């Protein structure tokens, strides 16, 4: 019984799908951002598993880039949620439909 790259790929596949279901299904904008973080983590697991398989550091460097981008995304996203709450008094995404025709 040996753990291969495929095990990590399947795990990150499951994690990515859970995050995608969260993004599509939930109404709360904060939970949608949390599900996005789950998807970022799935991508990170993929990169680190391939870095191990190919015995080089590039995958880990890109995983660090992903973590940095996730931090920036969370900061801007949460600022948008605060602005949305201040203007509309809600964090439910389907109640903010002013740009929908």
Between residues 94 and 98, which has the closer beta carbon with respect to other proteins? 94
Interface pick for other proteins out of 43, 80, 97, 99 (rule CB under 8 A)? 80
Q: Does 75 bind other proteins (CB under 8 A)?
A: yes
Copy the structure tokens of residue 1: 């019984």
Q: Does 88 bind other proteins (CB under 8 A)?
A: no
HSE value, Cβ hemisphere, 13 Å, CA-based, for 49: 17
Residue 91's Cβ-count burial label (10 Å; 0-12, 13-18, 19+) is middle
Which of 45, 43, 101, 35 lies closest to 74 in space, CA to CA? Answer: 35
Between residues 94 and 101, which has the closer beta carbon with respect to other proteins? 94
Q: Does 48 bind other proteins (CB under 8 A)?
A: yes
Q: Does 99 bind other proteins (CB under 8 A)?
A: no
């Amino acid at each position: 019984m040996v753990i291969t790259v495929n095990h990590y790929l399947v795990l990150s596949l499951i994690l990515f799908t859970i995050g995608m279901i969260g993004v599509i299904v939930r109404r709360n904008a904060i939970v949608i951002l949390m599900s996005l973080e789950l998807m970022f983590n799935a991508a990170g697991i993929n990169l680190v598993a391939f870095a191990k398989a190919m015995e080089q550091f590039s995958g880990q460097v890109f995983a660090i880039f992903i973590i940095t981008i996730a931090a920036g995304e969370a900061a801007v996203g949460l600022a948008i949620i605060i602005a949305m709450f201040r203007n509309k008094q809600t964090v439910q995404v389907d109640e903010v439909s002013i740009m929908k025709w």
